[in-house]
Amino acid sequence: MYVYDSFAGFPKSTNNVDAISYEVVDTGYWRESEDASPPGTEEMLRREFTRRFGEAGWTIVRGMFEQSLVSDPLRREVAIANLDCDLYASTVQVLDHLLGNRLFPDGAVILLDDYNCNRANPRFGMRRALRECFARTDGFYDYSEFINYGWHGRAFFVHRLGDSPNPDAGNLDAGYLTEGGAR
Ligand SMILES: C[S@@+](CC[C@H](N)C(=O)[O-])C[C@H]1O[C@@H](n2cnc3c(N)ncnc32)[C@H](O)[C@@H]1O
């Protein structure tokens, strides 16, 4: 399990999508430094993870994604990604990293906690980020809806179309059928 968070709240919204969004301009919920974690949050999480999981199997990376995904990039396959970072720009940074490095296996699940923020307007937030980031994969990845949770969240399945078994490709000798038998 990997946890990435600034623990210092949101970065300043320098792009227009966030800067003119309802959640920045009207409600103010997504303004710079809003949602900063109380002091000691990271230490509390470390204690709690150690108590539950032991010393290994989890990593906490502190910092803004812009830096942390470069200094400590995620390199392992990601079966479940829970994005609770609200902003369009933050969501783009994470999704571009995961999709661009092809870290999602076929059937992975993405939870977008803030999918219906900004009055569910598709010009903003996670709705826009999801659409644009998947489009950048040029068909290697696609997604479909899984479940809604609360008024705000929606989960999606990831479809890895670029290199998953394809019954329409016309090649029955494909490795996945012959190595270890048909599934
Ligand atoms: C709504 S809070 C959720 C925090 C946590 N998931 C929880 O439930 O308590 C949003 C979090 O996203 C983090 N965040 C948003 N954009 C970020 C970015 N670009 N880099 C690092 N953290 C970011 C904020 O620091 C904040 O902790």
Mutate to test the pocket of ligand 1, among 1, 2, 6 (most ligand atoms within 8 A of CB): 6
As a whole number, the mean pLDDT across the chain is 94
Kindly give the number of the ligand 1 atom that is closest to the alpha carbon of 93.
19
Q: What is the pLDDT of residue 182?
A: 41
Q: What is the pLDDT of residue 183?
A: 40
Fold of the domain built from segment(s) 2-178 = Rossmann fold (3.40.50)
* Model pLDDT for residues 73-94, shown as the tens digit of each residue: 999 999 999 999 999 999 999 9
Q: Is the pLDDT assigned to residue 50 strictly greater than 60?
A: yes
Q: What is the pLDDT of residue 174?
A: 54
Atom 9 in ligand 1: which residue has the minimum CA distance?
Answer: 37
Q: What is the pLDDT of residue 170?
A: 82
Task: Name the pairing type of β-strands 141-149 and 59-62.
Answer: unpaired
Domain boundaries, the chain: 2-178
